[in-house]
Amino acid sequence: MMFDPDQFAKITVPSDNPRQAAKHSDIKKIANDVFMVRGAMPSAPGRPIWERLFLRYSRTMTVVRHHSPDGGSDLTLINTMRLSPAGLEALTGMGRIRNIVRLGAFHGVDDAFYVSEFGADYWQVEGMQPATDYRGEVRTMSESSLPIPDAKLFCFEGLNYPEAILLLPAQQDRPGVAITTDSIQNHTSAWDPDNSFLVSMAIKRIGLLGPARLGPVWLRDQVPANKNAPELTGAVKKKNMTSFFRPQFQRLLHDFDFDMLVPGHGWPVMKDAKAAVRASIEKQLSD
């Protein structure tokens, strides 16, 4: 299976022509004011017909509830997934859909639906490519400007396709939470019902199976040298990837505390997430 990140980044950005709702789970509470919805995303529009027929990817939307200035409850949706009418009814019963957050360049096809349908503010990581037919306003996230009170932002530096991690600080009744997209995933089993058979086989083959794994394809396609110099040998590419990413992930562990992780693909890591990420760094980004 060939993956063209340039094409994928272009066809997954939000547009004013939203997709229909796909099959998904109920909204599940995983921590105080933190919820998730799991479902399937078919191969993005514009990909080859065989891929759209046989490749289906799991995805996870995170919902964070926080107090609004008027005393009500606001909702921030990260890694959005358009829900069914029943799902939307349950979601809006939890609070006002106030913010849509796009953390990863390869996610976003359902963002525009929530922005237009609910008048939500739209937040992206600096440098993300906007859709040519999207007419809404876009806000850029930074450490001093985030949609969730007290949240923190970790931005990867120098990527081919921008991505960040949103972190919720620990509270008395909730551990610190890291919310990721493609950079860190958590596939506890290859046989995920939201993945097609071919995708399940690929997860095992490329080394993505296991706790808090760094996305192997994501790592490969994010290193500038790997994009601009495809003639490099595998060993040199691995060395470049390690030297490029290892300091960045180590900075994440040094600067932020979290015990739970909710990825854009896979299942949440409910505890000891930081230790799991550290183990993945040592295994996947070693010299």
- Dihedral of the CA atoms 99, 100, 105, 108 (nearest 10)? -170
| Res 43: pLDDT | 58
> Where exactly are the structural domains of the chain?
5-284
Cα separations in angstroms, 204 against 4, 197, 267:
20, 11, 16
| Res 130: pLDDT | 72
Q: What is the pLDDT of residues 219-254, one digit of tens each?
A: 999 998 655 555 555 677 888 899 999 999 999 999
Q: Is 276 helix (H, G, I), strand (E, B) or coil?
A: helix
Is residue 156 within 8 Å of 164, Cβ to Cβ? yes
Q: What is the pLDDT of residues 187-198, one digit of tens each?
A: 987 777 777 667
| Pairwise CA distance, residues 245 & 240, whole Å | 9
| Res 57: pLDDT | 74
| Res 45: pLDDT | 58
Closest CA to 151 of 172, 132, 166: 166
| Res 236: pLDDT | 77
pLDDT less than 50: residues of the chain: 1-2
Is residue 244 within 8 Å of 226, Cβ to Cβ? no
**CATH fold label, 5-284:** Metallo-beta-lactamase; Chain A (3.60.15)
| Res 231: pLDDT | 55
Is residue 261 within 8 Å of 273, Cβ to Cβ? yes
Per the rule left: phi > 0, alpha: psi between -120 and 50, beta: everything else, 16 is: alpha
| Res 136: pLDDT | 83
Query: Which residues have C-beta within 8 Å of that of residue 285, sequence separation ≥ 6?
Result: 214, 241, 242, 245, 246, 249
pTM value > 0.85: yes
| Res 206: pLDDT | 78
Instruction: Please state whether beta strands 177-179 and 152-155 pair in parallel, antiparallel, or not at all (unpaired).
Output: unpaired
Token output for 178: 């890291």
